[in-house]
Chain A
Amino acid sequence: MTWVGNNLSLMASLFLAHVMLALPAVALSVAVAIPLGWLAHRSPTIRGPLLQVVGLLYAIPSLALFLIVPSLFGLEMRGSANIIVVLAIYGVAILVRTVTDAFDSVPADVLQAADACGYSLWRRFWSVDLPLSLPVTMAGVRVVVVSTISLVTVGSVIGVRSLGTLFTDGFQRGIVAEVVAGLVLTVLLALAMDGLCVLAGHMLTPWTKSSRLPRRVGFIGRSRGALPATPVTTNEEGSVP
C-alpha cells in the first residue's frame, strides 16, 4: 500500500485522463444514437436492418476497432480521439435500440395532441418526443456510462493513458497494489458517474417523480371529507386513465 501513498498525483492525473476519454465518448454516443433511434422509430423499413447492423457493432473486438478506426477516420492510433470514437461506437451499439424503444414509448395520443396543436415535426421532436423519451433513454445512458468507463481501460494496451495504465504498468512491474488501485478507482468512477446520471435523470424529468406523491396527497385530502379511506378507493383513483 506504500505504492498508493507514493503515487497519489499519478493516480489523480490518470483518473482525470480517464474521465476526459469517457465523457466525450458517452456524449458522442448519445448524439449519434438519438437521431438513429428516431429514424428507426419513424421508419419501419429502416428499423429492422439498422438495429441489426448497429447491434452487430458490439461483436467487433475492441482491439481490432482500435486498429481499424484510425485508418477509417484518419486519426492517430495512440490519440484520445481514436479511443473516443471506438468507445462511442460501442455506446451507439448499446443505445440505439433503447432510444428506439424510448421514442416508441411516447403515448400516441400525446403526439396526436401535439399535431393538433400545430407543432411542426421538427418542433414537436424537441418539445414533445425528445423530453418524453428521456425516462427510457436515461436507463440506456446509464448502461453506456458504466460500460464506457470500464472499456476506457483497454486503451492502455495501445498506450493511451487512463486508469487502465495502472493495470498494464502494475502487471509488467509486478505491483499488485497498482493493479488493485486501478480497479478500485475505475469502479468508483463508474459508481459516481452512474449516480450523476440518476441525478440528471431526475432533474430532466421532474414530471415523473412528482406524479405519485401529490396524487396520493390529493386523495388523502379529499378522503377527509365524506369518502372512507379504503385501499379499494385508492386503486380506483389510481386507475383513472
Chain B
Amino acid sequence: MIEFENVNKTYDDGTEAVRDFSLRAESRETTVLVGTSGSGKTTVLRMVNRMVEPTAGRVLWDGRDVATMDAVRLRRSIGYVLQEGGLFPHWTVLRNIATVPLLENTPKDEAMRRAAELLTLVGLDASLGERYPSQLSGGQRQRVGVARALANNPLVLLMDEPFGALDPLVRRDLQREVVRIREALGTTIIMVTHDMHEALMLGHKVVVMATGGRIVQEGSPEQILSSPADDFVAGLLDASGMMAFVNGDRA
C-alpha cells in the first residue's frame, strides 16, 4: 500500500505544483490519477520513487516513509514506465529489459534469459530481442518499456502516461495487457493519464485531479460514472466520450 500524507511540492521558483495531497493506493490494485496537464499528477507519481522529493508531507510504502530509504535501491525495487518507453537507444531490446537485474549484479546470462521471458510476457516476438529501440514501432517500444519495468519483479509499478503516444488500437491492446499482467503478478499499479476512458477502464480507484494536485473526486469507476462530482469531472467524461454511460446508462 502506498500512502500520501498531506504532501506538498513547491519548486524553487515558488511554483506550487501540489498542495496538501493525501491518498491511499491499495496493494494489488490499480490506482489511476487522471487530470489535465498542470494538475501535478506526474509530480505526485514521482514522489513514490523519490524522483521528486516532497517539500512537506510524507509518502509511505507499507507504512515506511520512502524518504528514509536509499533512493537508488528504492528505484530498483519499483517499476517505472515512461511515455514512449524511455528506452536506452544504445542498447538492444533484451539489454534494455535486463537493465535493473544487471544493475543488481544478476549474472548476465541469467538476466538475458529472464529478459527473453519478459519479452514474451508483454506479447512481443523473441526475434525482436536483438533490435535497437529505433527499429521498433511505438507500440513495441512501449511494451519493451513495460517489460523493463517488470524485470526485477517489482511489487509496485508506476506508469506515467504510458499509452499517450500510441494509436487507439495499439493502446487498447496494451491496456488489456496491463490488466492481464497485474492479475498474473499481483502488482500494485499507480498510473497517470489524461484520458478518462483509460482511467475508468484500468482503475480500481480513479482519482480526478485539478490544478495544484487538488483531488476533485476519488472513487471506483462506477462511482465516478454514476455521480460525477462536478462539471470538471463531467467535462472530462464528456471529452473522452464517456458521457453516454453516466447515470447508469452503462448497461
B219 contacts A by Cβ under 8 Å: no
Q: Kindly identify, within residues 111 to 154 of chain B, every residue whose CB is under 8 Å from any CB belonging to chain A.
A: 131-132, 134-135, 137-138, 148
Q: Kindly identify, within residues 20 to 63 of chain B, every residue whose CB is under 8 Å from any CB belonging to chain A.
A: 49, 51
Complex Cα–Cα for A114 and B76 (A):
10
A9 CB, min distance to chain B CBs, angstroms = 45
A109→B84 contact, CB < 8 A: yes
Complex Cα–Cα for A131 and B132 (A):
14
Query: Given the known A-B contacts A113-B88, A116-B75, are A211 and B82 also in contact in the complex, defined by CB atoms under 8 Å?
Result: no
A132→B148 contact, CB < 8 A: no
Interface of A (DSSP majority class): helix
Query: What's the count of A-B pairs with C-beta under 8 Å?
Result: 74
Query: Given the known A-B contacts A207-B132, A210-B135, are A117 and B89 also in contact in the complex, defined by CB atoms under 8 Å?
Result: no
Residue of A117, A215, A240 with most partner-chain B CB within 10 A:
A117
Complex Cα–Cα for A109 and B51 (A):
13
Residues of B within 8 A of A115 (CB): 51, 75
Query: Given the known A-B contacts A215-B135, A241-B84, are A119 and B49 also in contact in the complex, defined by CB atoms under 8 Å?
Result: no
B82→A118 contact, CB < 8 A: no
B187 contacts A by Cβ under 8 Å: no
Complex Cα–Cα for A109 and B182 (A):
25
Closest 10 CB pairs of A and B: A113-B86, A118-B76, A116-B80, A118-B75, A211-B134, A240-B138, A207-B132, A214-B135, A207-B90, A109-B86
Mark B residues whose CB is within 8 Å of A. Answer: 49, 51, 72-76, 80, 82-84, 86-91, 99-100, 103, 131-132, 134-135, 137-138, 148, 158, 165
